[in-house]
């Protein structure tokens, strides 16, 4: 078995001295955080007619990504490629194919020509008739761990462990309802599973969210499963709300354990601690792995979109990119998460997607135009071009922006003094106490708007330019951290706009834009030509980039690092070569 390089999902930079870090920071230049050079025109007047030949890189870029190959599962908008993980011993990628209820195995020994060599049909391999979608997969030390949901999503799911060499299942263990993410510890002694515990559509069955800590035998088979739950936090709801944790919904689901929905889990570099995104709660859970207990819930706070550099496009009816400041509080709502170290400090990197609690039986979701706003609560002198609540709630300003009824009525009089929006349209770096160290502000939307002005904030299930501006913009979804030389990079996927954006995060406080690459072909009308037409699922390229996986040079099948993407909408797996820029 080959141990997975810790610089894949868990990057360590402990070898960098303070002087080395300072030197790197100096090389970045004084304008490293500006958008100068970021997302400039590719020089050929590209207006979205297919992917550009020369993916845009920033002024201080040190690496360059180029898509060299890919594989299509042949289905569109059906989860054909949700999550991807890599095994260096077999030179294979393992892809969660929700549409098939399977893990697809792709040979990427030739990155330019990935081929499917096999798959693991979970229901057949486990003889578990209730097996539904494969939600997640992780590979390490010759083992495959897959999270599998129950056909009744509020019932317990499973984590299934198989061999990368034989593809035979070595065992499975019960997990909580809707296991949504799996991750090995660095020594492969255990698998952690984030169990979302999402309610049913009627909001009548509300499972508890939890994190399973599944210890493994020497052969990889599950030995014991322990549950890190949230019941010990029940009764602390008011205190947690004061800190900023979102605990809300119907009265019978207001205890902490029933309210939080663990989304994504990542294990810290030393293997003793895990961080889990509690997306709707706008918080992290910190898990002590040895005791299998949640030790802390860290509130993430809210992003002030009135601050310089924190603007966003709030309307799909304003004629295209219109990034500016608005009086809203962005809920970070992270989905993907990863960790890395600088010196002896651990940092957590999050992709701030955004997500509403929206069910038939309960929904927080509404539009700003539907809120009864307290006019006295807004300083219109500070809001450019807006003088009244009516103007603020117009269709081409904030009116159609998705917002929540669960926050904002501070004094309980039925009027909202504050407006909240889903997701921060950014990525963030946090310290291990949950304090914000860096946020990319409005760079994601500025870079994509400059690069694709005619296809800005597009959707992934139809061709709808500007269509996601009133929702969550490009929707940063997944993140993978990799080390190349003495630098650390964050690779962040965009679920709606598609593609991957890269930042140099070697110095956490001053992360800098490196490159945005998007292999999507915007000239293809997805709805009419693929979904309702006869074009193949991959006709528009990689669409709906859900997950990213960094492959370090030491594990790559070729002489460069690679990056893999799982593209949920197009059902494609993309392979990118990473080159150094001299």
d(CA 46, CA 68): 21
| Continuous H helices in 139-274 | 237-243, 256-259
Has residue 9 got a pLDDT over 70? no
CA 290, distance to chain mean position in Å, is 27
Is the pLDDT score of 525 beyond 70? yes
Mean pLDDT, residues 43-63: 51
The pLDDT of residue 38 is 32
pLDDT digits (tens, 9 = 90+) for 224-237: 999 999 999 999 99
Scan for tokens 């400059």, then name that residue.
450
pLDDT at residue 25 in the model = 34
Chain mean pLDDT for the chain: 91
**Looking at residue 458, what is its pLDDT?**
97
Q: How far is CA 255 from the centre of its chain?
A: 26
pLDDT for res 309: 98
- pLDDT confidence band for 60 (50 / 70 / 90): low
User: Over 70: is that where the pLDDT of 475 sits?
Assistant: yes
Please enumerate in sequence order all residues whose Cβ is within 8 A of that of 435, keeping only pairs 6 or more positions apart, or say none: none
Identify the band that residue 140 occupies on the pLDDT scale cut at 50, 70 and 90.
very high
Determine how β-strand 143-150 pairs with β-strand 131-140: antiparallel
pLDDT greater than 90 at residue 36: no
What pLDDT is recorded for position 56?
Answer: 67
Q: Domains in the chain, ordered, with CATH? A: 10-355+423-580 (2.130.10.10)
What would the 3-class secondary structure string for 132-163 be? Answer: EEEEEEEEECCEEEEEEEECCCCCEEEEEEEE
* pLDDT attached to residue 99: 87
* Per-residue pLDDT at 21: 31
Question: What's the pLDDT tens digit per position in 344-354?
Answer: 999 999 999 99
Question: Using 50, 70 and 90 to split pLDDT, how confident is the model at 251?
Answer: confident
Question: Each residue of 350-408: pLDDT tens digit?
Answer: 999 999 999 999 999 999 999 999 999 999 999 999 999 999 999 999 999 999 999 99
Banded model confidence at residue 512, pLDDT cuts 50, 70, 90: very high
Share of the chain above pLDDT 70, in %: 90
């Amino acid at each position: 078995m080959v141990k997975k390089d810790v610089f894949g999902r868990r990057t360590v930079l402990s070898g960098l001295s303070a002087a080395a870090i300072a030197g790197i920071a100096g090389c970045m230049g004084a304008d490293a955080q500006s958008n100068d050079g970021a997302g400039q025109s590719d020089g050929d007047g590209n207006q979205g007619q297919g992917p550009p030949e020369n993916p845009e890189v920033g002024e201080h870029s040190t690496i360059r990504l180029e898509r060299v190959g890919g594989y299509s599962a042949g289905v569109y908008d059906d989860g054909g490629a949700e999550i991807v993980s890599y095994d260096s011993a077999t030179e294979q990628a393992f892809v969660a194919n929700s549409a098939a209820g399977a893990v697809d195995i792709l040979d990427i020994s030739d990155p330019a020509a990935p081929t499917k060599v096999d798959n693991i049909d979970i229901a057949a391999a486990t003889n578990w008739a209730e097996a539904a979608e494969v939600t997640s997969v992780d590979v390490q030390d010759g083992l495959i761990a897959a999270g599998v949901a129950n056909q009744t999503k509020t019932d317990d799911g499973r984590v299934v462990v198989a061999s990368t060499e034989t593809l035979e299942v070595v065992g499975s263990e019960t997990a909580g309802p809707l296991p949504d993410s799996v991750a090995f510890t660095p020594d492969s002694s255990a698998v952690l599973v984030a169990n979302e515990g999402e309610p049913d559509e009627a909001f009548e069955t509300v499972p508890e969210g939890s994190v399973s800590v599944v210890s493994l035998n020497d052969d990889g088979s599950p030995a014991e499963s322990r549950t890190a739950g949230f019941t010990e936090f029940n009764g602390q709801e008011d205190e947690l709300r004061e800190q900023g944790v979102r605990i809300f919904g119907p009265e019978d689901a207001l205890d902490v354990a029933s309210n939080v929905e663990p989304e994504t889990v990542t294990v810290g570099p030393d293997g003793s601690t895990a961080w889990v995104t509690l997306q709707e709660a706008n918080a992290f859970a910190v898990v002590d792995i040895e005791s299998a207990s949640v030790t802390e819930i860290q509130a993430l706070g809210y992003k002030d979109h009135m601050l310089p550099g924190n603007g966003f496009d709030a309307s799909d009816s304003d004629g295209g990119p219109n990034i500016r400041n608005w009086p809203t509080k962005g809920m970070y709502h992270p989905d993907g998460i990863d960790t890395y170290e600088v010196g002896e400090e651990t940092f957590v990197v999050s992709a701030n997607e955004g997500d509403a609690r929206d069910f038939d039986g309960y929904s927080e979701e509404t539009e700003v135009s539907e809120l009864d706003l307290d006019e006295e609560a807004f300083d219109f002198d500070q809001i450019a071009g807006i003088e009244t609540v009516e103007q603020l709630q117009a269709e081409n300003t904030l009116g159609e922006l998705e917002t929540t009824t669960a926050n904002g009525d501070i004094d309980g009089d039925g009027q909202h003094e504050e407006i909240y929006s889903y997701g921060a349209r950014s990525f963030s770096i946090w310290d291990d106490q949950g304090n914000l160290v860096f946020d990319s502000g409005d760079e994601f939307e500025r870079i994509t708007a400059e690069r694709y002005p005619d296809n800005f904030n597009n959707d992934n299930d139809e061709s709808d330019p500007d269509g996601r501006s009133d929702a969550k913009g490009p929707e940063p979804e997944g993140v993978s951290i990799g080390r190349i030389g003495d630098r650390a990079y964050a690779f962040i996927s965009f679920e709606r706009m598609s593609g991957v954006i890269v930042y140099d995060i070697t110095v956490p406080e001053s992360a800098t834009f490196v490159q945005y690459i998007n292999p999507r072909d915007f000239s293809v009308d997805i709805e009419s030509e693929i979904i309702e037409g006869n074009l193949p699922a991959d006709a528009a390229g990689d669409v709906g980039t859900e997950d990213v996986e960094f492959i370090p040079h030491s594990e790559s099948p070729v002489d460069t690092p690679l990056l893999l993407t799982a593209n949920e909408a197009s059902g494609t797996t993309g392979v990118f070569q990473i080159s150094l820029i001299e």
